[in-house]
Amino acid sequence: MRTLKLCIAFLAMSFIVPLQAQTADEILDSYFENTGGLEKWKSIEGMKMTAKVNQQGMEIPLEIIQLSDGRQMTMINFQGKEIKQGVFDGETLWSTNFMTMKAEKSDAEATANFKLNANDFPDSFIDYKEKGYTVELLGKETIDGAETFKIKLVKEPVTIDGKQEEDVSFYFFDTENFVPIAMQSEIKSGQGKGMVQEITMSDYQEVDGVYFPFAMTQGVKGQPGSPLTIESIELNPTVDAAAFAFPDEMEGEKK
């Protein structure tokens, strides 16, 4: 009788475990399927987001443009002025200095690191193996009261102060809907070096058959972040190439 009970228990477990077990690839497959399908995701050539970020109680309008060839920029509307930040034209990375209001190019190291992310649009997990990335399921973790699958993503090494370091981030996928609700990564440079940056995502809405988070918060883990509310998303927008050009280059073309 004892042997029979053990056999029944073993058979019961053999049916339960496969149902509960998940692999990182299965979670990612479910994520893309639940948010529009991988084919739909791959058809995205560009994205323009209109949003507002809350900085210490002040709402600042933003326009964020990202294209599949790596070009991108953020346009900030502050006190009636349009200020470009994080502009990348495919070769040059530049931003507007808030103190001098003049455009400044980033150094070679920052530009090289930025270029590494050019093939991540519209999602780092698309064809990750072909990119040379690796993913690993680390188990489950509770984030803001929600049970999630924790997935580790390792991309190409970045260069920090002349030394190569691993580029590692952790994504937390809701176990019910299989969508990411948080991402964490170590800050590699600047005042926050060594701290953990955390981005939370919620309010997924459909845009042309694909679902995106319309509410995000970015900051340091364990500290209040800056809420970002997306008002609209336009897929495959028409964008003038001159919008990404460094101002000096634009002036040179007019002469």
The model's pLDDT over 69-86, given as tens digits with 9 standing for 90+, comes to 999 999 999 888 889 999
User: Which tokens sit at 201?
Assistant: 């995502």
pLDDT at residue 249, as a whole number: 52
Q: How many angstroms separate the CA atoms of 239 and 102, rounded?
A: 23
Give the residue-averaged pLDDT of 231-255.
Answer: 81
Tell whether the model's pLDDT for residue 17 goes beyond 70: no
pTM: 0.87
CA 138 – CA 159 distance, rounded (Å): 26
Mean pLDDT of the chain: 89
What is the rounded average pLDDT of the residues 177-199? 94
- Greater model confidence, 26 or 82: 26
What tokens appear for 102 in the block?
């003049």
**Bridge partners of residue 226, in order along the sequence:** 218
Calculate mean pLDDT across residues 185-203.
Answer: 93
Residue 209, token pair as written in the block: 């058959």
